[in-house]
Amino acid sequence: MRMKYSRLETTIGILSSILLTGLGVALFIHANLGSDTITVMVDGIHHTLNVSIGSASRIYNSIMLILALLVSYKNIGWATIVYALTVGFAMDFFEQLLAPLNITQAGMIVRLGTVVIAQICFGLTYALLIKYRKGMNQVDAIAYALVNWTRIDFKWIRTGMDVLLLVGGYLLGGVVGIGSIIAMTTTGILIDLFLKLLNGDHDETSTKRI
């Protein structure tokens, strides 16, 4: 049975996803061990087209939004648009907030721990967007369309898409490191885990179907 959520609960959930993304990106940047797979793709577009990171992000989001609308328009909603328009401000805020900590100069264990925390932020972010059903991240919307077509579990489809984003971004000139490998191999699994924790196995937002 599909759960009903209050407007306040939904708004808090979407706002939390935006803040978690901003924190996650800032943590990846300051760890300096490679970024999440989407950021690697955006970085690749930035290098290939010689545009700013912000412009590259808008190009990426526009392309992915069009693809998501074509194959999975039912999973695109107001949260998708709000998320895309505001997440950049959250990234800038947390990047400046973390700057005094000098994480980049810390030891490898601290930086790896920072990457792990960043990846947890991303897994929870995408799970929240899926949970409240007001519009998924574009990648997740496309992944769900592929789940419906192939009947393959979401976590494997999402991991495969992360591989494509990482390889594509790298070929375009994006920076790849151990943080990118961690993100590529765990995003789908973390989303699956957090959805089960947030909703329980009996909710229709199970990652095996939609």
Above 50 in pLDDT, residue 129?
yes
Question: Which pLDDT score is estimated for 28?
Answer: 85
Residue 62: Cβ within 10 Å count: 12
Sequence-distant (6+) residues with CB within 8 A of 24 are 36, 118, 119, 121, 122, 125
Burial of 116 from C-beta contacts in 10 A (0-12 / 13-18 / 19+): middle
Could you tell me the two tokens for 193?
Answer: 């885990």
Instruction: State the alpha helices, DSSP H only, in the chain.
Output: 7-31, 37-49, 53-72, 78-98, 108-132, 138-150, 154-171, 178-199
Residue 24's pLDDT band, with cuts at 50, 70 and 90, is confident
CA distance 114 to 30: 8
pTM above 0.85? no
Above 60 in pLDDT, residue 202?
no
The whole-number average pLDDT for the span 122-150 is: 82
- pLDDT per residue as tens digits for the range 58-94: 788 888 888 888 888 787 778 777 877 777 778 778 8
Question: Which pLDDT score is estimated for 113?
Answer: 94
